[in-house]
Amino acid sequence: MDIDALRLPGSEAYELVDQLPRGAARAAAWNAYVFQTYGDKLIEASGPKYLPDDTFAVVARLFSLSAFWVQQASALAANPSTAPASEQAAELPHFHTPIRSPEQLVGIRETADTLRTYVAFDLQSLTGETPSLAAVREQLAGVDKEMDTAAMLSVERCPPELRGGIGDALVKAIKQAQALGQVLAATQTDS
């Protein structure tokens, strides 16, 4: 199957997350943004000509989830009383093996970095101080800690055992950034 055909339905996520007001629709758009970013970064890291089967399977699932969340965001924006989707639909898909390839690690690291940067920028743009914003500031350090762990484990010609640990730390960073972005997307402030 053509990866561009899979990618296209969720590609609106990049604009949608910034266009919607804070609330349930924007939180759904944030999920779409996370999945679309992750899929795109895995493709970029693998190169345009070859996408290994295990990477293709994860990317296809990521783009499917992104398209689902774009639809959810649009439905919630059109009708705020729409029932939000299950949290299970926001879970990251898993690779079928515990060891990531060097290219996969690059894509995962780029995703974690992009999401962390987005959350930090979004947090900085909010005014006022609420308990949820204070908690996000504190928890953002957890994302940094996981990324630092991955960086400390990275060595030239990294053996499989270390690639497994790096992948685990980076996926934790993605999950934490995804959760923090959810909080920010739903936070109503004076900004």
pLDDT tens digits, one per residue of 59-106: 999 999 999 999 999 999 999 888 777 777 889 999 988 899 999 999
Q: Which tokens in the block code for residue 184?
A: 């920010």
pLDDT at 87 (0 to 100): 74
Check whether 131 has a pLDDT greater than 90: no
C-alpha pair distances (Å), 150 with each of 24, 27, 42: 32, 28, 17
pLDDT at 189 (0 to 100): 64
Check whether 190 has a pLDDT greater than 60: no
Check whether 107 has a pLDDT greater than 70: yes
DSSP structural state of residue 156 = T
Distance CA 17, CA 75 (A): 14
pLDDT at 92 (0 to 100): 93
Distance CA 130, CA 29 (A): 23
What are the extents of the domains in the chain?
3-186
Check whether 184 has a pLDDT greater than 80: yes
pLDDT at 48 (0 to 100): 66
pLDDT at 1 (0 to 100): 63
Split at pLDDT 50, 70, 90, the class of 191 is very low
pLDDT tens digits, one per residue of 7-29: 899 999 999 999 999 999 999 99
pLDDT at 155 (0 to 100): 84
